Amino acid sequence: MKSAAQIRSEFIEFFKEKNHTFVPSSPIVPKGDETLLFANAGMNQFKDIFLGLTPPSVPRAVNSQKCLRVSGKHNDLEEVGRDTYHHTFFEMLGNWSFGDYFKAEAIEWAWELFTQVWKIDPNRLWATVFAGDEHDGLPEDDEAKILWTSVTSIPAERVLSFGKKDNFWEMGETGPCGPCSEIHIDLGPDRCDMKNVPGHECKVNAGCARYVELWNLVFIQYNRQPGGKLTPLSSKYVDTGAGLERVVAVMQDKKSNYDTDLFMPIINFTSELSGCEYSGKLGNKVDNALRVIADHIRSLVFSITDGATPSNDGRGYVIRRILRRASRFGRELEMKEPFLYKLVPVVVECLGEAFGEIKERADYVSTVIKSEEESFGRTIDRGLEIFNTAAEKALQTEDKIISGKNAFQLYDTFGFPLDLTQLMAQERNLKVDKEKFDVLMEEQRQRARQAQKSDSFLASLTDTELPVTEDMHKYHLDSCESKIVGWIDKEGVKDSGQIDTGEEVGLILDKTCFYAEMGGQVGDCGMIESHDSHFFVENTIKIANCIIHKGKVTQGTFSGGQHVMAIVGKDRDAIKKNHTATHLLQWALQEVLGNSVAQQGSYVGPEYLRFDFTYPKALTREEIEKVEELIGEKIVEDLPVTTAVLPREEAQELGAMALFGEKYGDEVRVVAVGAESKSKLSEAFSKEFCGGTHVDRIGAIGGVKIIKEESISAGVRRITAIAGSELNSYLRKASDIVDQLSLILKVPSNELVDRVEKLIANNKELAKKLKSASRASGSDGLSQARELLDNCQKIGESSVIVGKLSGVTIDQAREAIDMLKKKAQSAAIVLGFDEEGKVTLISGITNDLVEKGLSAGNLIKEIAPIVGGGGGGRPQMAQAGGKDPEKIEEALKRASEIIVEKLQA
Give residue 732's pLDDT band: very low, low, confident or very high (50, 70, 90): very high
Structure confidence by residue, pLDDT tens digits, 623-666? 999 999 999 999 999 999 999 999 988 998 888 888 766 777 78
DSSP H stretches of helix in 502-569: none
Q: Tell me what the mean pLDDT of segment 457-461 comes to.
A: 55
Q: Which residues pair with 529 in a beta bridge?
A: 534, 565
Q: Which pTM was predicted?
A: 0.69
Given a cut of 50, whether residue 456 has pLDDT beyond it is no
Higher pLDDT, 116 or 75: 116
**Phi, then psi, of 164 in degrees rounded to 5:** -60, -35
* DSSP letter string, 101-164: --HHHHHHHHHHIIIIIS---GGGEEEEEE--BTTTTB---HHHHHHHHHHS---GGGEEEE-H
The 10s digit of each residue's pLDDT in 269-290 is: 999 999 999 998 888 889 999 9
C-alpha span between 129 and 649 (Å, rounded)? 44
Under a CB-based contact definition with an 8 Å cutoff, are residues 127 and 181 in contact?
A: yes
Return left, alpha or beta for 113; rule: phi > 0 is left, psi -120 to 50 is alpha, else beta: alpha
Measured distance CA(140)–CA(815) in Å, rounded: 74
Q: Using an 8 Å Cβ cutoff, are 112 and 118 in contact?
A: no
As a whole number of angstroms, the distance between CA 355 and CA 702 comes to 42
- How far apart CA 700 and CA 156 sit, in angstroms, is 74
Confidence band, pLDDT 50/70/90 cuts, at residue 820 = very high
β-pairing, 60-68 vs 21-22, is parallel
State the average pLDDT for the chain.
89
User: Are 599 and 613 a contacting pair, CB within 8 Å?
Assistant: yes
Nearest 5°: the CA angle 243, 170, 218 is 55
Q: Look up residue 20 and give its DSSP letter.
A: P
The residue with greater pLDDT, 815 or 41, is 815
Distance of alpha carbon 693 from its chain centroid, rounded? Answer: 27
Q: Annotate 285-332 with three-state secondary structure.
A: HHHHHHHHHHHHHHHHHHHHHCCCCCCCCHHHHHHHHHHHHHHHHHHH
Q: How far apart are CA 143 and CA 127, in angstroms?
A: 13
What is the rounded CA–CA span in Å between residue 522 and residue 546? 17
pLDDT band at 780 (very low <50, low <70, confident <90, very high): low
Helix (H, G, I), strand (E, B) or coil at 813: helix
Beta strands in 588-633 (DSSP E): 599-604, 609-614
Local structure of residue 762 (DSSP, 8 states): H
- Quote the DSSP letter at residue 460: G
Q: Could you tell me which of 394, 513, 539 has the C-alpha nearest to residue 457?
A: 539
pLDDT band at 354 (very low <50, low <70, confident <90, very high): very high
Please say if the pLDDT value at position 770 is more than 80: no
How far apart (Å, rounded) are the C-alpha atoms in residues 90 and 69?
A: 8
Q: Dihedral through CA 102, CA 108, CA 114, CA 116, nearest 10?
A: -150
Angle at 574 between CA 573 and CA 576, to 5 degrees: 65
Task: Please report, for residues 295, 740, 754, 761, the alpha-carbon distance to residue 757 in angstroms, rounded to integers and kept in the order given.
Answer: 55, 17, 5, 6
CA distance 560 to 482: 12
Is the alpha carbon torsion for 310, 315, 321, 327 positive or negative? negative
- pLDDT value of residue 819: 92
